[in-house]
Structure 1
Amino acid sequence: MRKNLFMRLVGDLEMNYPYFQTTFDATNQRSFSALQKCTSTIHQFAKSYNTYSLDEYLNMSERTSREALKNFCYGVVQMYKAEYLRRPTSTDIYLLYEAHEARHGFRGMLGSIDCTHWNRRNCPTKLRDQYMRAGSNNDLKVLYQSPLFNEKYHGTGPDCSFYLNDEHYKHGYYLADEIYPSCIVFVKL
């Protein structure tokens, strides 16, 4: 993440949410700054750190790191959802098509399910194995929460058709392997 973007997030969170504003406790000890709390959060995202592993690095307790992550996510969603977390437009989808075609050589591809695995090595203990039970597939649970996936699955999204080998296709697709269910949005390799 670029420094100016990070600093913009820190400033916006500090200005809009009391949790990120510097306070003093009963012993007149200063609380962690917005910069420290956001740094903790970004380390958790970027490097899959457990909250307890930040205790030595930032001298921040596991509880404070967890609270910072929760408040960061809530604040970012509330502040930026109208602009950045909106439903994709036809233009957005065509940009996805172009990016995947340039990178992978597949026209009409929206993504690859097998590239969406999350590193579960540092999964919080209470969440460990939550999505790994028999008959459960974490990739699908994540996808079902995506507006783009839901619109493509139900055929209600914007018409973003494309041609491949002189064949017209109405919707994009996700590359998947044989373990995924048969679905109009999956192309199995």
Structure 2
Amino acid sequence: MREPTHHDIVRLYDAHERLHGFLRMMWSIDCMHWAWAKLSLAYRGQFTRGDHGYPTIMLEVVASYDNWILHAYFGVTDSNNDISALDNSDLFKSLLNEEMSDIPYIVNDVEYRRGYYLDDEIYPTWSAFVKSYSSIVDPTLAYFSKKQAGV
């Protein structure tokens, strides 16, 4: 895991556009909960969330099309979620501090300085995160949501 270079970012832009049709997409980010089947009975309560009903450990990952993992964070389920995992991420500290490379591009006559991350609705509303649409009426938005879920 390392910060991407200018060359890495250009390569990712090109590959994600070619493979998925997303202009200037850099990474996908998601959070999942792994079942912890062999956890001692004494600790089960500390690692069990009500929505799962069994012990889990949280994993948040930022990965590219070629499985380059830029960021991985393991945490205890109850004390961590997608947002608190971001608070512990060097990747997003550099993003917030604007330390990442600028490679500008234009979409709909608007200039953007950096690429973006595909995510789900739990992440903050930052320009770096592109979310899917939850209620879809327009066929174009339905197509976008289907493509995003596939990536």
> Which structure shows the bigger proportion of residues in strand conformation?
2
Instruction: Give RMSD over aligned pairs.
Output: 3.1
1:26-56 Cα distance to aligned partner (Å, 9 max, x none): xxxxxxxxxxxxxxxxxxxxxxxxxxxxxxx
SS in 1 for 2:11: helix
User: Which of the pair has more CA radius of gyration?
Assistant: 1
The one of 73, 89, 100 equivalent to 1:157 is 100
Which residue type is aligned with residue 77 of structure 2? M
Partner of 2:144: none
Q: Normalising to structure 2: TM-score of the pair? A: 0.51
SS in 2 for 1:141: helix
SS in 2 for 1:112: strand
Would the aligned equivalents of 2:82 and 2:122 in 1 still touch at CA under 8 Å? no
Please report how far the alpha carbon of residue 92 of structure 1 lies from its aligned counterpart in structure 2 after TM superposition: 0.7
1:1-189 to 2 correspondence within 5 Å?
Answer: 85-114=1-30, 117-118=31-32, 120-121=34-35, 125=39, 128-129=56-57, 130-133=75-78, 136-138=80-82, 141=85, 144-147=88-91, 149-189=92-132
> Which structure shows the bigger proportion of residues in helix conformation?
1
Partner of 1:60: none
SS in 2 for 1:113: strand
Relative to structure 1, the CA distance from residue 184 to residue 142 in structure 2 (aligned partners, 3 Å threshold; closer, same or farther) is same
Percent sequence identity over aligned pairs: 35
Q: Normalising to structure 1: TM-score of the pair? A: 0.43
Would the aligned equivalents of 2:28 and 2:119 in 1 still touch at CA under 8 Å? yes
Aligned pairs, number: 101
The structure, 1 or 2, with the larger RCO (C-alpha pairs under 8 Å, 6+ apart) is 2
Q: Which runs of 5+ in 2 are unaligned?
A: 48-55, 58-74, 133-151
Q: Partners of 1:95 and 1:184 in 2: how far apart?
A: 21
Q: Partners of 2:23 and 2:87 in 1: how far apart?
A: 20
Q: Partners of 2:19 and 2:84 in 1: how far apart?
A: 24
